[in-house]
Structure 1
């Protein structure tokens, strides 16, 4: 059914695009992005109400109704002519290619964050037919926004299980939709120009994050949120550039910005940036405005910002209602609200309150980061900005009658970029620990989407210049030459040995092993069970794989030296963690080499106290060792565990009796 679901999803999108293009005489190349965005927003609203599956059925029924309307009204030929725009043809062809490629190669999740949230949340949404915060599953970062999970849900709506390759297919279809919006200004006479522009759009992610020659690239083969954030940010800008002052443009843009908000928390900032740029474009593009145009622009701003804020706050309330936890606090060392973070950050920035040492250091690091931190194949952010402004310069030279639009895009985009850096200064100060903050951890993931999205917007302006500018041949040649240089650089210096087209399946060997082991005991577990995993020597990879594969809640372990009171209360010190490797205190004295890279110094008595506190229902032994098999397991009544990994896992029920703990083998829980 995964194949049929993918085909029906593509067909539904094409039908919606054909209907909108014919009914409202819209540029078909602009429609795939707002259609996909609209589907995700629609499903989100039904998910809030607890009827996600009904929302999916209504989407497909609406698509069937549009198809009937086109056929009965004789609009098929008219719609087909409108769909022949270069951007839409690229979208349709790219979607078909991605479907065939992924259906044939069946890639799997391998990135760390796909198991800590992104992939696991997609699976939970699909199997639970509910937004991931309310669906059963081991989603660790449950407060993250649900937009991409809902898009994946739409693309495998009719399947019974969850298909990982279909998730990649859904993501990449969205990227193709964004590229279609970039090339929308080009008509049927501009196929060569469109081909170069679309090739540039396709290669830009490698320009901004490339593994280098001989590496393995997961671009277009991951289900994390950074690349969708960048593409939808850039595609949204191209929407307002191409739908200048059209009422339909406001509706399509509002829907798309709502979806942008649902991709990640930072999507709220991106959506408001695009809304501000669109309002400025509508207000000033044709000269200084009068009061009437100012009033209309304020109305437009409210119409764009309203859905954005409503969806952001709606998800926050839904998450709080579903989990009982707050979504509006952040912080690794101490919790602080979003508004509190901004207030404290602005206060320190303006000198209204005393600056902390951490804030002072990070201010310098962030100011220099545009030069010192590589974000593209040419080096630091300053090099990426040079490329973006090179594209804008060509567009400015060509758009003689609309140069104000390019200037606004450059000036306001630069101002927003500065504010964006400032916001991340606050994030590093109040959210990350000192060690992570001073390393500017994940800087490229945080800042990179702005560079890529802004570059896509610049290419969209270049497309406008190529279609409507003065000296079209000269401007087109200059712009395409610059873009071709970026393509060449990405193709030569950023070309990986393997990627989405030939991802080495040896990377999935451990995934398959864990999947088989989990499947052997899933029939003995349900979502009310909590399972403590023992996999000695693991670096938490197998823990995350089991969290994804098991049909039960995976219990967290502890780290430190023993389990007992906090250090401040006279104890040895311990902390919550995910996976733990249990080590004999005799082998973990001062000056001794670590037995495992990540280890918990733990006696059988420590583990007993821990289990009595947590009350986990089951214990799953994936990999044992001599210490665990003899000294630890023996204290709980188990004497036949192997001292290593075998071809089977061992599932035990944890029994709590008279203040003691013992493990009882589950019948059938040691399947080969």
Structure 2
């Protein structure tokens, strides 16, 4: 409980610091305070980034906090006490800023009370495991590898999480609250309107907040993980849309324009596909510079090109720095820039994919995936109204409203150019994912369009957020304000009509944590013996990999991968393949298991020796282990034994496995 209070206190302190820095800087820059939480939070995370590369994340956190404090101090000195009071009062009257501050404080307090945990598979394999390792060890996982491949997870979500948990005390709920703080900062950037239009700002903030639910496909009555998950999808969507909304408000200012590069760099460090998203954003901004210029294209092009090019350079620099870093600290095949099992370079993939799109050497697999992608745009549910065609139709309606609400001239050209450019880039991104399904997925996964909605819904969300922002900025006349109200009300209304989940971030989800709690209790016992250098092989008979991944997340040790195939009575290893978890089965019964590892006691010992394992954790045993393996274990084995950790004494020991720790029986 003490740890929860301290974590909550630090989180609220950072929120107050961000709010104070935003309020005084807004007064100095003469802009809406709601614009500043996003670049300030992005800047703080980016300050951590080089310190992480140097292995000094805690020093980086101190530097980030000191910079925020310095911003407040400079503002106070420049504005003087009387001016500071006015600045704070002005900031709090801005709807976006007030809603950001109130919303984030509410989420931090709510999560501290409910303490939600991770629920999605990929959170335990990467997106939750990465920030956990970073917080606990104050080091990037690629420089200090334990249970995560260097090339798999980009660092942005870990950096934001560490900023709110710099003391090494890990809390899943604080990770979720930190990512929600980033998301709400992006929504606030979209709702920056003058004080007389406070109602419009509230409408845009509310519509932006429900967009992750609007563009979702949660089964009716299920728990909705939006705003309560560590996946990169929400930060991706919000940073992409939020950076553009930030630009729409500051793009006309010479110096403030470059605030946009901060969220774009953080976006690039969020996920591998975000390199493309960052370049798309730079491209959209360049086109907007041309569309809104008051000079002929020949005269305005150099300035637009230099500005967009500068943003693109920042994106490339962020992407290249992470690629160079991972290659330097883990120079293995896992960090190479390749796609798919064939290990093709990105250039080869794009070249081959374009040829396939043009019909040059097109094979049956590509043709089938292309047909499936074309059909999915109309039939695969991507939002509360249905498929992608419905999502584009709704976004187009909002864009049309923004176009007609805007004054003739640059404002209308901006809306038209933005919507058409978004559509063009979406078509290119759609084709890119078609190519990825062909090269980067197995035949079954590619033809099934695995995670189709996850890959594309962030783009729809950002597109809608940008159009809502442009509609709000165009709504000066009274009738156009009504259009804004109708658009925002429609988004929220459809969510209330068809999308309110049975449970979500606002409710307890204890029923989802039953299995996790069981593994946590058992792992806590094992961790009294284990340390990070230890290598552990986990056996859980009958597991479908869920418990194995939970242990991989919970144990303070390196969890060794298992194998599938035959390694036993055949006396050979060529019929064995690398796996993650494994169930040990008899050779005559292997057809009963989807994930099979035919193994006898002598070859289990040989595998432990081969993988340099220190411990074997038997989470759940069965009759086969009891009958065939008991003689190799101190005290023997029983089918109903509790979770037990054994120390591996070596292949030459009389009893290769000796007792190290025994967990109490839990709920399974």
TM-score relative to the length of structure 2: 0.93
TM superposition shift of 1:48: 2.0
Q: In the alignment, is residue 664 of structure 1 matched against residue 661 of structure 2?
A: no
Contact 2:150–2:330, Cα closer than 8 Å, also in 1 = no
Whether 1:642 and 2:645 are equivalent positions in the alignment is no
Q: Deviations over 1:51-93 (max 9, x none)?
A: 2221110111122223333334334223214413111111001
Task: Say which of 318, 342, 353 aligns to 1:345.
Answer: 353
> C-alpha displacement at 1:626, in angstroms?
1.3
Contact 1:564 1:609 in 2 (8 A): no
Structure 1 residues 242-253: aligned runs within 5 Å: 242-253=249-260
Render the CA deviation track for 1:252-278: whole Å, top value 9, x for unaligned: 111110011011011111111111111
Give how far 1:212 is off: 4.4
Aligned to 1:382: 389
The worse-fitting range, judged by mean Cα deviation, of 148-157 and 79-88 is: 79-88
Tell me whether 1:92 sits opposite 2:94 in the alignment. no
- Which of 628, 632, 643 is the equivalent residue of 2:629? 632
For residues 671 and 640 of structure 1, do their structure 2 counterparts lie closer, same or farther at Cα, with a shift above 3 Å needed?
A: same
Counterpart selection for 1:327 from 330, 335, 348: 335
Unaligned runs of 5+ in 2: 1-5
Quote the Cα distance in structure 2 between the aligned partners of 1:367 and 1:507.
Answer: 36
Once the 2 structures are TM-superposed, how far is the Cα of residue 563 of structure 1 from its aligned partner? 5.8
Corresponding position: 1:189 with 2:196: yes
SS of 1:559 mapped into structure 2: strand
Displacement, 1:121?
Answer: 0.4
**Change beyond 3 A, Cα 1:522–1:212:** closer
Contact 1:124/1:136 (8 A) holds in 2: no
Question: Which has the higher mean CA deviation after the structures are superposed, 337-346 or 144-153?
Answer: 337-346
Q: CA 1:415–1:667 in 2, change beyond 3 Å: closer, same or farther?
A: closer
2:275 alignment counterpart? 268
In structure 1, what is the equivalent of residue 505 of structure 2?
500
Structure 1 CA distance for aligned equivalents of residues 103 and 184 of structure 2: 6
Q: 2:180 aligns with which of 172, 180, 184?
A: 172
1:204-234 CA-to-partner distances (Å, cap 9, x unmatched) read 1111114244221111100100111011111
Deviation at 1:136, TM superposition (A): 4.8
Aligned Cα root-mean-square deviation (Å): 2.2
2:238 and 2:547 mapped to 1: Cα distance? 32
* Range 40-49 or range 97-106, more displaced: 40-49
Determine the C-alpha separation between the residues in 1 that align with 2:569 and 2:472. Answer: 64
1:198 and 2:191 aligned: no
Where do residues 477-492 of structure 1 align in structure 2 (5 Å cutoff)? Answer: 477-492=482-497
- TM normalised by structure 1 equals 0.93
Q: Distance in 1 between matches of 2:626 and 2:14?
A: 51
Secondary structure of 1:406's partner? helix
Aligned to 1:315: 322
Q: Is the 8 A contact 1:565 1:573 kept in 2?
A: no
Paired with 1:190 and 1:23, the residues of 2 have a C-alpha distance of 22
**One of 226, 231, 241 as aligned partner of 2:238:** 231
The secondary structure found in structure 2 opposite 1:379 is coil
Count of aligned residue pairs for this structure pair:
653
Residues 1:285 and 2:326 aligned together: no
The aligned counterpart of 2:157 is 148
Which stretch of structure 1 is more off in the superposition, 607-616 or 522-531?
607-616
Preserved contact between residue 564 and residue 573 of structure 1 (Cα < 8 Å) = no
Pair 1:581–1:623, CA change in 2 (3 A) = same
CA distance in 2, matches of 1:571, 1:121: 33
Distance 1:671 1:571, change over 3 A: closer
1:607 aligns with 2:604: yes
Residue 515 (structure 2) pairs with residue 515 (structure 1): no
